[in-house]
Structure 1
Amino acid sequence: MKKRYLVPLIPIALLAGAFLALRTPATDPAVMEAKYANAASRFVEGPNGLRVHYRDEGNKDGVPIVLLHGNSATLHTWEPLVQRLGGEYRMITLTLPGHGLTGPNANRDYSYKGMAEAVDLVVDATDLDRFVIGGNSMGGWISWRYALANPDKVDALILLDASGMPLREGETPPPLNLGFRLLQNPLGRFLLKYVTPRGAMETSLRQSVSVESFIDEATIDRYWELYRLPGNREAAGDRAIADREPGYADRIGEIKTPALILWGKDDPLIHASAAVTFKERLPQAEVVIYEGVGHIPMEEAPDRTAADMDAFLDRVLTPVSETN
């Protein structure tokens, strides 16, 4: 009789054993900071224990450019542009809450408001009055929302495969990469808090791009290790269900600053047609589409991205008196 009651416990025990065997430990914050911060790294503290990792590099007398990364990335994604544009521009990059060395937000707020709070901390810490803001993917969404909310601060807007626009008529959502698919359901969010194989991180990264040549072992390690910083995996689940306030897409036309829209034609995560939607709603915007490039143009095609950003800023920020 006892054996009959014990039989259902066998698969439960096997599952529990498999879970414990596959469980991926969190990384050590001190070790990660020693590995992934550099001489330019700074940290600014805010409310609820928020501590934002940022870098202020390049030409300190140049036009300041604030750059925001995409979901699951960090400020490191901008290093190719810092190298190419830092001679002329002041390059300010930051890691958003719930990512990298910044770590989670204690109040678990990953809405626009929570993310903009981190941007404001860095803007204040670097004494910026006016600046260019740009972002990739989720960072692009935060960038145009920030430009909408702060027209007195933003001189120009640069969007790289930015999120936030609705699908066009007749379109279906593009397939998500492995990580984003898992985050769409409660079980996946639970599992990713504890089980995060390096191979799954590599697969997700490769499924996001068209040009894979920049993805080396060090890049995969960086994504994987920083994703596993205490609290960051839980934050990824929180971001997956955060309110992105889609109604603000109808207000983007209120932005009157010059805008540049850069897009990888082969972006597997956001249809390149979204660039058309941005252009329709931001008629002053310039649009450049990169053939053979995916979701992360600043890493897949850094030379072209840097050249187009430089040419755009030279056109729109040159004083009228210099053009006469």
Structure 2
Amino acid sequence: MTRFKRFAALAVLGIAASSMVAAFVLWRDPFLLVRGEFARQRVAAGLSRGSVEVAGHRWSYAVREADDPSAPTVVMLHGFTGSKENWYPLAAALGARYRLLIPDLPGWGESERKPGTVYGFTQQAANVDAFVRALSPGKPVVLLGHSMGGGIAALAAARYPQDIGKVGLLDAAGVRFKDNAFGLDVLAGRNPFAVEDDASLQRYIDIVFHDARAKPWLPWPASTALIRKRRADADFEQAVLARIGRSEESLLPGEGAVRIRQPALLLWCRQDAVIDASALELYAQRIPQARKVLLDGCGHMSLMERPAEVADAVVALVDR
């Protein structure tokens, strides 16, 4: 065998061995690809990981300090079935202009979930206020909330104005918006976000995203791992959805919003198939001082589909 052939044979063996190792690692931990992509986005946005014990829970959060130590702190709350990673595109667009705190809410993502605990709007608003007081003591923050997180942010701003200096609601839950398929399913006791197989995973993605360019790509085996996790979370998701979508608590954010006196932002996408854009005007009636922004060509995930435009709106809120 010539030297070149021996080298080529060794190279093929090396590639085969590496492929076998990679396949074994992914078999043992199929969610590794997703975590790796999240880590890449976190680093690209200049964020680091943090953990804190607050309100009886261990919180996982992402943080980025501002270039200017005196800059405002912006806290970002994710939505139902979401996580802190949903905010990474916006965090990248904002850069180091502000101090950013992006938690997984208790019960979600990498934060602690306690059996038997109710994770509705009221409890989560109190949890968020405790988080704010712990990580920004004596300094009111700008609180941004998306979807379920928007309902939590509205209630927190209404109840804890001493800690919430400004508030931004993005595609926020908490008002009785115009009927759509998603809302009717929720009222009928179903979970339109439920994921049980490949088809329902794709349906879930298609519901929350309108812009095809922003839809996440989930290759096997990451898709299988996500489906398995969402199946395991099905009872928890249904319990939370019953609380925030069908109980007497479901409209508390909109009712409480009349007490919001802080500067505010209301931002929606016209093609939102989850929280219909009619909700923007319903919140605006209760928060007349709010700046209204309606984006076109995007769906429920405005913070991921249009991060640059959302960043512009956030800067206008914070700096005005």
Q: Distance in 2 between matches of 1:166 and 1:125?
A: 33
> Structure 2: how far apart are the matches of 1:145 and 1:245?
11
Per-residue deviation, 1:158: 0.5
Partner of 1:55: 62
Contact 2:77 2:102 in 1 (8 A): yes
1:97–1:224 CA distance, 2 compared to 1 (3 A): farther
Unaligned ranges ≥5, structure 1: 1-26, 316-324
What does residue 12 of structure 1 align with? none
Q: TM-score, normalised by structure 2?
A: 0.75
Q: How far did 1:227 drift?
A: 7.8
Q: What is residue 174 of structure 1 aligned with on the other side? A: 180
- Matches for 1:135-174 after TM superposition, within 5 Å: 135-167=145-177, 171=178, 173-174=179-180
Q: CA deviation at 1:125?
A: 4.0
Equivalent-residue separation in structure 1 for 2:279 and 2:293 (angstroms):
12
AA in 2 matched with 1:100: G
Matched, 1:126 2:132: no
The separation in 2 between residues aligned to 1:166 and 1:183, in whole angstroms, is 11
The letter for the 2-side match of 1:278 is: Y
Q: How far apart are residue 310 of structure 1 and its match?
A: 0.8
Asked whether 1:201 is paired with 2:206, we answer: no
Match of 2:102 among 80, 93, 97: 93
Shift of 1:30: 10
Name the counterpart of 1:233. Answer: 234
Residue-pair matches, total: 277
Q: C-alpha deviations, 1:85-117, integer Å up to 9, x for none? A: 132011111111332212523233111233234
Q: CA deviation at 1:28?
A: 7.3
- Name 1:278's counterpart in structure 2: 283
1:260 shift after superposition: 0.7
State, as a whole percentage, how many aligned pairs show the same letter.
Answer: 25
1:200-279 matches, within 5 Å, as: 200-218=200-218, 221=222, 225=226, 228=229, 232-242=233-243, 243=247, 244-247=249-252, 249-279=254-284
Q: Are the structure 2 counterparts of residues 46 and 199 from structure 1 closer, same or farther at C-alpha, using a change threshold of 3 Å?
A: farther
Matched to 1:76, the amino acid is E
- In the alignment, structure 2 segments of 5+ residues that lack a partner are 1-27
CA 1:64 to 1:253, structure 2 compared with 1: closer, same or farther past 3 Å?
same
Deviation for aligned residue 1:222: 8.0
Taking structure 1 as reference, are residues 269 and 248 closer, same or farther at Cα in structure 2, changes over 3 Å only? closer
> Does the CA contact (< 8 Å) of 2:55 and 2:131 recur in 1?
no
Name the SS for the 2:213 alignment partner: coil
Greater shift, 121-130 or 275-284, is seen at 121-130
- Alignment of 1:80 with 2:107, yes or no, is no
1:113 corresponds to 2:122? yes
CA shift in 2, pair 1:40/1:183, >3 Å: farther
TM-score by length of 1: 0.74
- Output the aligned Cα RMSD: 3.3
Residue of structure 2 aligned with 1:43, choices 29, 43, 51: 51
Asked whether the 8 Å contact 1:108–1:238 carries over to 2, the reply is: no
- Whether the 8 Å CA contact 1:140–1:162 is kept in 2: the answer is yes
Structure 1 residues 58 and 175, CA gap change in structure 2 (3 angstroms): farther
User: CA offset at residue 183 of structure 1?
Assistant: 9.8
| Structure 2 residue matching 1:260: 3-state secondary structure | strand
Counterparts in 2 of 1:276 and 1:98: CA distance versus 1, 3 Å: same
Q: Is residue 100–residue 227 contact of structure 1 (8 Å, CA) maintained in 2?
A: no
Counterparts of 1:53 and 1:223 in 2: how far apart (Å)?
24
